[in-house]
Amino acid sequence: MTEKYQQLVSHLSEVHNINMAGAVLGWDQQTQMPPGGAEARAVQLATLSRIGHEMFTGDETARLLEDAAGELDGADYDSNEASMVRVVQQDYAELTKLPADFVAEQTRVTALAHEVWAKARANNDFKSFQSALERILELARQQADYLGYTDHPYDALLDQYERGITTAQVKEIFDGHKPQLVELIAAISHNADKVSDAVLHQEFDVDSQRQFATDVVTAYGFDFTRGRQDVAVHPFCTHFSHNDVRLTTRFHNDFLNPALFGLMHEAGHGMYEQGIGDSLEGTPLASGTSLGVHESQSRMWENLVGRSREFWTWALPRLKAIFPSQLGNVDLDTFYKAINKVQRSYIRVEADEATYNLHIMLRFELETAMLAGTLQPADLPEAWNELFESYFGVTPPTDTLGVLQDIHWSAGLMGYFPTYALGNLLSVQYFNKAIQQHPSIPDEIAEGKFDTLLNWLRENIHQHGRKFTSDELTRRVTGESIQSRDYIQYLQTKFGEIYGL
Amino acid sequence: MTEKYQQLVSHLSEVHNINMAGAVLGWDQQTQMPPGGAEARAVQLATLSRIGHEMFTGDETARLLEDAAGELDGADYDSNEASMVRVVQQDYAELTKLPADFVAEQTRVTALAHEVWAKARANNDFKSFQSALERILELARQQADYLGYTDHPYDALLDQYERGITTAQVKEIFDGHKPQLVELIAAISHNADKVSDAVLHQEFDVDSQRQFATDVVTAYGFDFTRGRQDVAVHPFCTHFSHNDVRLTTRFHNDFLNPALFGLMHEAGHGMYEQGIGDSLEGTPLASGTSLGVHESQSRMWENLVGRSREFWTWALPRLKAIFPSQLGNVDLDTFYKAINKVQRSYIRVEADEATYNLHIMLRFELETAMLAGTLQPADLPEAWNELFESYFGVTPPTDTLGVLQDIHWSAGLMGYFPTYALGNLLSVQYFNKAIQQHPSIPDEIAEGKFDTLLNWLRENIHQHGRKFTSDELTRRVTGESIQSRDYIQYLQTKFGEIYGL
């Protein structure tokens, strides 16, 4: 009955296997590979990328898609079969626009640029990265031209990470809460001395940090028999199957936050991948549906759970037992405020909830300007610093703490940043809905129980993989599209209480 | 001038990149992958393997080979260009002889047999493995028929691992030193109490072992900026480039040998790969030329260097500094003898230098008899035990310690074992030649200096990759083919002195 559909899935699985092999090579590159391996790895990734691209964009895919679509005519929109054909038709339309040689060149350039960026960042030397960035920008413009757009070349890039959303929509969402953010941060800055995070800046043994953070994400529900955790300069989560999900984090021996909240964050991504339905395994639908929705999961476990008073009611005694000399005398209120201290930090990944979206708005503004050609890479450090000053009232002292901090541009990921901010908004929308349906969730969190929340997420979000778009999913789950109302309300309530505004 | 050759190399590099990607996935599988990842990894590897095989055995390879051969007519035999065409023509002829269906069936049978063998070994139950072995043997005969041979079906299998050598030649080489080995071991057994290895069986902290072993192979010349070291149940060495070579080892906290000599061994393989010439990088010639020559390198650094008195003159004080309570009172002579204790062990992988080749001869005799049809799998345990008794003077108490100990047959690797013994012979031939040309090498080793030896190996062996066959290389380097004279003389001298024969 579904013979042609099975042929399609079998073909797509081969492509998927090639892509997953590429993901293994990428993970290894960032966590294990010795420096000497970089050059060969770049060409290996280029070959996999080209072959995967050719296999997927070949005529056979079109033919199999057409045959399967005919066979499945009238199938339920929500079924795996109809979703597979629908989503893969869109993928196919998008990817057939990019010539194989272009994709291979982009892969080659970015693989090499990674090393250049890492050195430039280490040496605070933007100039040494500039020409790589110029080439990457050139390729990004070319990519937008290949993909096509009506209003802004940035639309084409954005669509790859958050299908269906436009630059104008993002601008509207951002403009819709930027003033409240700036106002909130200004109000907080007048009460800045009400909160100290000194307790977090002490000597914390790295192995003990690892143990505690691992215990926390295990309690959350991340399954280490189907995943692992390693160290990476720029933490990320990747997967080669919903049964093989890799988290990474980095440790500071004098600051608790990066490893602890970083691992909660990556575990949020990881549990999303681990929760994809079995029936989608090995297919192109076996992944989170968009970067924004993915980020909603990581931010939820990092912030809405991990930075809540309820969570630390349960966790603080445990953390104290591991670091008695550093934290033995710290009470819950002091600790809760410390981990929620709002700071005009230079570094996005260390940013608190209140300032985070401003970091993204800055990048969005610079990226769209570069794409539009109104900002040149040579002028980027200055533009970065000026904008930073206008948003945060301070200027980064070095490019390492400014324009060079993120890996994304070196990896060719233009149009990616906005999804972080969209994820923040979605995290609160989803969390509010979960609590509305299960009001016991906050009390359970205070007892170290996370399964009601995780099961709700699995049921409503994770299992579907890529079957629905971000907007489809959000409307199904919450009854409305993405909005900034819930997020701003959450921030105003939480930080109003903490800072006594 | 070499346009067609460049097209060939470009095509072969794509295949090579696919194979190297497979190697990365294989390494990850054995060193990093969580248990849940196994199923997806199997299909990912199958996809890569199929695509690599199809790309290489397709008509395009034949066409490009022919075009390049025409273009290069008259090129120097030693040149990269002539070697590439010559070696790849042989690879192509070999791989195109096996029908895809046959390869798939062999893969299926051995994948299942692995589980059956593992259980049989655990339960000391040969009968439960017998029918799997019968099927594997049947397939091995079929494989030999596909590959073709003139004298003995075993020739065809052997040729896959040690191109150009025949069963008759191996038999002659083995028969040429078997009596001396048996005699040497018998003589040693009368003086067995002269040597104790008790000092090696103590509690040794694993991290300290790792540090010492890593320091040793770093001193040897293994470059950790172009490689790394991890833990694996079954130690191995793999590479994804000559600039990315991965060693693995395993640690026992109550026995020094496995990690220390194991890492020396794998580093010997690793330095071979790291020494392949830059101009061969990314091509099918960028690897060691045969399993025998590869083993000569690992055995040289493990035994001829690592188990020499000179080496420990330098290394023992360092090891004592790390393990003062365990080894503080041990003198050089006691330690040197301990690491060279000869034992009639049942297990090949634990065998010392004196007994090792006998373990291989036993397997060679049984494999060739099975291939010729003069020995049936049903009679294998008895044949194993009888032969073992005649070689070693003892009978394995169980099949687990006898015929079931090795993974090779369950994996379909018939014809592979002899390369281990050939490697032992070659290691001494090469080492003697190096010392003949650089008589200072032993004194340098006693000072912890290894660069004269390593540079000699790079110049004479490593840089050539797969350009020359084992025999071509050995005759170039030593002026003669493989022989057992040097090996026997080395053993008689070394163990005669240790055991006062």
Q: Looking at residues A412-423, what average pLDDT do you find?
A: 96
- Per-residue pLDDT tens digits for B373-395: 999 999 999 999 999 999 999 99
On whether the CB atoms of residues A435 and A310 are closer than 8 A, the answer is: no
**B25 touches A: beta carbon within 8 Å:** yes
d(CA B370, CA B379): 10
| Catalytic annotation, pick one of B266, B295, B353, B365 | B266
- Per-residue pLDDT tens digits for A161-175: 999 899 999 999 999
Residue A78 reports pLDDT greater than 90: yes
Q: Determine whether the interchain pair A224/B34 forms a contact, defined as Cβ–Cβ distance below 8 Å.
A: yes
- Per-residue pLDDT tens digits for A30-44: 999 999 999 999 999
Residues of A labelled catalytic:
266
- Per-residue pLDDT tens digits for A87-111: 999 999 998 998 878 988 998 999 8
d(CA B82, CA B9): 12
How many C-beta neighbours within 10 Å does residue B344 have? 18
Of A10, A1, A3, A97, nearest in space to A61 by CA: A10
Substitution target in B15, B41, B55, B224 with the highest count of A β-carbons within 10 Å is: B41
- Per-residue pLDDT tens digits for A246-298: 999 999 999 999 999 999 999 999 999 999 999 999 999 999 999 999 999 99
- Compute CA distances A51 → A16, A22, A274, A411, whole Å: 11, 11, 27, 20
Of B300, B384, B297, nearest in space to B348 by CA: B384
Sign for the CA dihedral angle at B142, B147, B150, B156 comes to: negative
Q: Determine whether the interchain pair B43/A13 forms a contact, defined as Cβ–Cβ distance below 8 Å.
A: yes
Q: Determine whether the interchain pair B244/A20 forms a contact, defined as Cβ–Cβ distance below 8 Å.
A: no
**B493 touches A: beta carbon within 8 Å:** no
DSSP per position, B20-44: HHHHHHHHHHHHT--GGGHHHHHHH
In the 8-state DSSP scheme, what is residue A198?
Answer: G
Substitution target in A44, A56, A115, A214 with the highest count of B β-carbons within 10 Å is: A44
Question: Which residues from chain B sit within 8 angstroms of residue A24, using beta carbons?
Answer: 21, 24-25, 28, 44
Percent of all residues in chain A with a pLDDT value above 90, rounded to a whole number: 93
Q: In one letter, which amino acid is A425?
A: L
B126: helix, strand or coil: coil
Query: Smallest CA–CA separation between A280 and chain B, in Å?
Result: 13
- Per-residue confidence (pLDDT) for residue A380, from 0 to 100: 98
Pull the structure tokens for residue B276. Answer: 């392949």
- Per-residue pLDDT tens digits for B161-174: 999 999 999 999 99
Q: Determine whether the interchain pair A226/B37 forms a contact, defined as Cβ–Cβ distance below 8 Å.
A: yes
Substitution target in B241, B273, B283 with the highest count of A β-carbons within 10 Å is: B241
- Per-residue pLDDT tens digits for B20-59: 999 999 999 999 999 999 999 999 999 999 999 999 999 9
d(CA B23, CA B16): 10
Q: How many residues does chain A have?
A: 501
- Per-residue pLDDT tens digits for A134-193: 999 999 999 999 999 999 999 999 999 999 899 999 999 999 999 999 899 989 999 999
Q: What is the mean pLDDT of chain A?
A: 95
Question: Which residues from chain A sit within 8 angstroms of residue B225, using beta carbons?
Answer: 34-36
Of A27, A454, A253, nearest in space to B41 by CA: A27
**A378 touches B: beta carbon within 8 Å:** no
Q: Determine whether the interchain pair A18/B223 forms a contact, defined as Cβ–Cβ distance below 8 Å.
A: no
Tell me the pLDDT band of B73, cut-offs 50, 70 and 90.
confident
- Per-residue confidence (pLDDT) for residue B466, from 0 to 100: 98
- Per-residue pLDDT tens digits for B226-245: 999 999 988 999 999 999 99
Q: Determine whether the interchain pair A21/B47 forms a contact, defined as Cβ–Cβ distance below 8 Å.
A: yes
In the 8-state DSSP scheme, what is residue A242?
Answer: T
**A14 touches B: beta carbon within 8 Å:** yes
d(CA B238, CA A126): 37
Q: Determine whether the interchain pair A21/B20 forms a contact, defined as Cβ–Cβ distance below 8 Å.
A: no
Residue A73 reports pLDDT greater than 90: no
- Per-residue confidence (pLDDT) for residue B1, from 0 to 100: 60
d(CA B136, CA B413): 9
- Per-residue confidence (pLDDT) for residue B350, from 0 to 100: 87
**B187 touches A: beta carbon within 8 Å:** no
On whether the CB atoms of residues B99 and B147 are closer than 8 A, the answer is: no
- Per-residue pLDDT tens digits for A288-320: 999 999 999 999 999 999 999 999 999 999 999
The stretches of A393-479 forming alpha helices (DSSP H) are 418-437, 441-445, 451-460, 470-478
d(CA A365, CA A401): 18
Question: Which residues from chain A sit within 8 angstroms of residue B18, using beta carbons?
Answer: 47-48, 51
A331: helix, strand or coil: coil
- Per-residue confidence (pLDDT) for residue B343, from 0 to 100: 92
What does the longest C-alpha to C-alpha distance in chain A come to? 69
d(CA A384, CA A396): 9
- Compute CA distances A278 → A460, A461, B193, B469, whole Å: 15, 14, 62, 49
**A43 touches B: beta carbon within 8 Å:** yes
Pull the structure tokens for residue A437. Answer: 């349906």
Pull the structure tokens for residue A67. Answer: 């045959």
Question: Which residues from chain A sit within 8 angstroms of residue B223, using beta carbons?
Answer: 36
Query: Smallest CA–CA separation between B273 and chain A, in Å?
Result: 13
Q: How many CA atoms lie within 13 A of A315 on its CB side?
A: 27
- Per-residue confidence (pLDDT) for residue B346, from 0 to 100: 95
Of A67, A74, A113, nearest in space to A89 by CA: A67
Q: Which residues pair with A27 in a beta bridge?
A: none
Residue A386 reports pLDDT greater than 90: yes
- Distant-in-sequence, close-in-space partners of B190: CB < 8 Å, separation ≥ 6: none
Query: Smallest CA–CA separation between A359 and chain B, in Å?
Result: 35
d(CA B106, CA B144): 13
- Per-residue confidence (pLDDT) for residue A1, from 0 to 100: 60
Q: Looking at residues B435-462, what average pLDDT do you find?
A: 98
d(CA B164, CA B470): 8
d(CA B170, CA B166): 6
Compare all CA atoms of chain A with the CA of B23 and give the residue at the minimum distance: A25
The stretches of B148-247 forming alpha helices (DSSP H) are 153-161, 167-175, 178-190, 206-220
- Per-residue pLDDT tens digits for B107-131: 889 888 988 999 999 999 999 999 9
In the 8-state DSSP scheme, what is residue B287?
Answer: S
φ, ψ of residue B97 to 5 degrees: the values are -75, -20
A430: helix, strand or coil: helix
On whether the CB atoms of residues A85 and A71 are closer than 8 A, the answer is: no
- Distant-in-sequence, close-in-space partners of A465: CB < 8 Å, separation ≥ 6: A276, A277, A280, A285, A286, A287, A288, A289
Residue A118 reports pLDDT greater than 70: yes
- Per-residue confidence (pLDDT) for residue B10, from 0 to 100: 96
Q: Determine whether the interchain pair B227/A34 forms a contact, defined as Cβ–Cβ distance below 8 Å.
A: yes
- Per-residue confidence (pLDDT) for residue B440, from 0 to 100: 98
Reduce the secondary structure of A99-140 to three states and give it as a string.
CHHHHHHHHHHHHHHHHHHHHHHHHCCCHHHHHHHHHHHHHH
| Residue A104 CB-density burial (10 A; 0-12 exposed, 13-18 middle, 19+ buried) | buried
Query: Of B17, B39, B44, which has the smallest distance from its Cβ to A17's Cβ?
Result: B44
State ipTM.
Answer: 0.92
Pull the structure tokens for residue A259. Answer: 């490893």
Angle formed at CA B32 by CA B28 and CA B34, multiple of 5 degrees? 110
**A492 touches B: beta carbon within 8 Å:** no
Question: Which residues from chain A sit within 8 angstroms of residue B52, using beta carbons?
Answer: none
Tell me the pLDDT band of B70, cut-offs 50, 70 and 90.
very high
Contacts 24+ apart (CB under 8 A), B134-142: B134/B377, B135/B109, B136/B109, B136/B110, B136/B409, B136/B410, B136/B412, B136/B414, B137/B370, B137/B371, B137/B377, B137/B414, B139/B102, B139/B105, B139/B106, B139/B109, B139/B412, B140/B371, B140/B412, B140/B414, B141/B371, B142/B102
The stretches of B97-125 forming alpha helices (DSSP H) are 100-123
d(CA B420, CA B433): 20
A11: helix, strand or coil: helix
Compare all CA atoms of chain A with the CA of B241 and give the residue at the minimum distance: A40
Tell me the pLDDT band of B336, cut-offs 50, 70 and 90.
very high
Q: Determine whether the interchain pair A243/B47 forms a contact, defined as Cβ–Cβ distance below 8 Å.
A: no
DSSP per position, B341-398: -----S-GGG--HHHHHHHHHHHHHHHHHHHHTSS-GGGHHHHHHHHHHHHHS---SS
Q: Looking at residues A50-66, what average pLDDT do you find?
A: 95
d(CA B49, CA A119): 35
Helix (H) or strand (E) run with residue B239 in it? strand B237-241
Question: Which residues from chain A sit within 8 angstroms of residue B22, using beta carbons?
Answer: 21
